[in-house]
Structure 1
Amino acid sequence: MQKTIFITGASSGLGKATAKLFQEKGWNVIATMRRPEEEKELNRLSNITLVELDVTKTLKSQETISEILKSNSVDVVMNNAGYGLIGALEAFTTEQIQAQIQTNLLGVIDITRAFIPYFRERKSGTFINVTSTFGFMGYPTCSIYNASKFAVDGFSEGLAYELAQFGINVKVVAPGGMQTDFTGRSLQGGMHQAYGQLTAKVSEGYSEEQIANYTKPEDVAQIVYDAATDGKSKLRYIAGSDAIALYKERLELTAEGQFEKIRAQFIF
């Protein structure tokens, strides 16, 4: 029987790459995005349905999912929508901070909560929540982004225990740097003069030369596909050579040891 994946944030980057890969593998794809009328690629592919959905609009999202489930079966939900708020904490307004948490964390929770009764009745289903390298390690100028992604990781682990009794899997895919437009449309920044030297140092990691060494979104999409189809109860999938190296370093040095190593790089 043909399976279906529901993807948030499918208009670009990893979301779009994942939609295309699953379509190629013979799956039905429900690709959600805020402005589907602007999509010019996925709408040309068979077995892909574009749906308008903004994860920050809780009630509307729940209504949309309810309508989808009336006429579609869904096997995998990929919570991918998100963006990075990068800068020193003092550079941000309360509204910016709340928007980051609303999209990256509460959006994941709301979409997941809308699908749980459906999966529970079926006694099957998989949630794949996209976090980040910065979902298991902190980094300067990323405190709010860290907060959102650490929270999704903890949410996923706790939920995995709750839902195991119903045959539902919860998995986390944690990419490192990706060759996407994350540093463009998916990145918001804030500047504060007291942190100019620190911000400049961190910004070196977002140079064109550095981004060229990052993992391609298609390679991370393959890891998402593996997580969806491997039949394992594995929780975390670390995606990309840089992410794997950092995760290994964290395990070897311990979290405190890695903290001291990174801290030493940014003491001026």
Structure 2
Amino acid sequence: MRKTILITGCSSGIGRAAAELFAERGWNVVATMRDPSTAGALAAAPNVVVTRLDVTDRASIDTAVALALASFGRIDAVVNNAGFGAFGPFETASTQLIDRQLATNVTGVFDVVRAVLPAMREQRAGTIINVASVGGLTTMPLNAIYHATKYAIVGFTEGLTYELAPFGIAAKVVAPGGVATDFAGRSLSKTFSGDAHPYADSVAKVMHTFENNRGGFSQPRAIAEVIFSAATDGSAQVTYVAGADADALLAARAKLGTEAYIDMMNQRFGLK
């Protein structure tokens, strides 16, 4: 029987690559995005339904889940991929930006999971895959708000495993490193404006280091392959780290310990 997956954030990047990959491999795909007019060729792909879903709009979540069930009868997996990054000092972040970061990266994931659980419980099977980040397992300068949301998703996912296992539902988290997408452009929001703030020197150093170290990022398709493995390997594995840069960061943290790792990152970004 053909399986069905619902994926959020499919307009580009990881979400688009995952939708294409699952469709190519014979799955029914409910590819969701805030603006379905951006779907392009994805809308014409066999066994793909494109529909609107804004993770900050609970009504749109319920509508998308209902469409998935009406179209295909079940949801075997859901990928919570939609999100954005807040970059910059915490102190200069507006309350509105913080609220939007939490609503998109955390509450939105909660709401999608809650919407699909009744169907998964009834069929006593399913896989929930939450796309976090290596930034949910370790840290980098000037990403405190983003890290807070991704650490939350890692903890949420692991916590879900206990309560969902009796119903045959798996909860998994994929933690990519850098990805060659427009995340740093379209999906990045700065917590500051201009350079008339106390953190301007740190911001300049960190941005310079990021710009000079963009090579070696994973392609979206490579991350989609990891997501596919998480959905299909049938294992008890919960955390899937994706990308050589992510592996290197986590290996360094494990070897050095927290304090020495922070010192290393301060030196790498010229902050110390």
**TM-score of the superposition, structure 1-length normalised?**
0.95
Does the residue aligned with 1:162 lie in a helix, a strand or coil?
A: helix
Deviant stretches of 4+, over 3 Å: 263-268
Q: What runs of 5+ residues in structure 1 fail to find an aligned partner?
A: none
Q: What does 1:48-197 correspond to in 2, within 5 Å? A: 48-72=48-72, 73-191=74-192, 193-197=197-201
The 2-side partners of 1:15 and 1:63 are apart by 19
Q: Tell me the alpha carbon deviations over residues 191-227 of structure 1, each in whole angstroms, 9 at most, x when there is no partner.
A: 25211121112113432x5323211111111111111
Question: CA, structure 1 residues 46+147, in 2 after alignment: closer, same or farther (shift >3 Å)?
Answer: same
Deviation at 1:125, TM superposition (A): 0.2
Distance 1:157 1:256 in 2: 25
Q: Residues 45-90 of structure 1: CA distance to partner in whole angstroms, max 9, x if unpaired? A: 1111101110001233123313432342211100000000101112
- Call closer, same or farther: CA 1:4–1:205 in 2, change over 3 Å: farther
Paired residue type of 2:252: E
1:213 is matched with which residue: 216, 222, 225? 216
Give the aligned CA root-mean-square deviation in angstroms: 1.5
Identity percentage of aligned residues: 43
Give the direction of change, closer, same or farther, for the CA distance of 1:124–1:198 in structure 2 (3 Å limit): same
Cα distance in structure 1, aligned partners of 2:117 and 2:258: 33
The letter for the 2-side match of 1:54 is: D
Bigger Cα displacement from structure 2, 246-255 vs 42-51: 246-255
Instruction: Tell me if structure 2 keeps the 8 A contact 1:17–1:218.
Output: yes
Matched, 1:37 2:40: no
2:204 paired with 1:200? yes
Write out per-residue CA displacement over residues 17-62 of structure 1, whole angstroms, 9 at most, x where no aligned residue: 1111111111111100010022212113111110111000123312
The amino acid that maps onto 1:17 is A
1:260 and 2:266 equivalent?
no
Aligned residues: 267
Residue 264 of structure 1, CA deviation: 4.4
Instruction: Letter of the 1:236 partner, please give it.
Output: T
> Displacement, 1:247?
1.4
More helix by share: 1
Q: 1:189 to 1:178 in 2, by over 3 A?
A: same
Shift of 1:147: 0.6
User: Does the C-alpha gap of structure 1 residues 90 and 6 become closer, same or farther in structure 2, counting only changes over 3 Å?
Assistant: same
What residue ranges of structure 2 are gaps of 5+ in the alignment?
none
> How does the TM-score come out when normalised to structure 2?
0.93
Residue 245 of structure 2 corresponds to residue 233 of structure 1: no
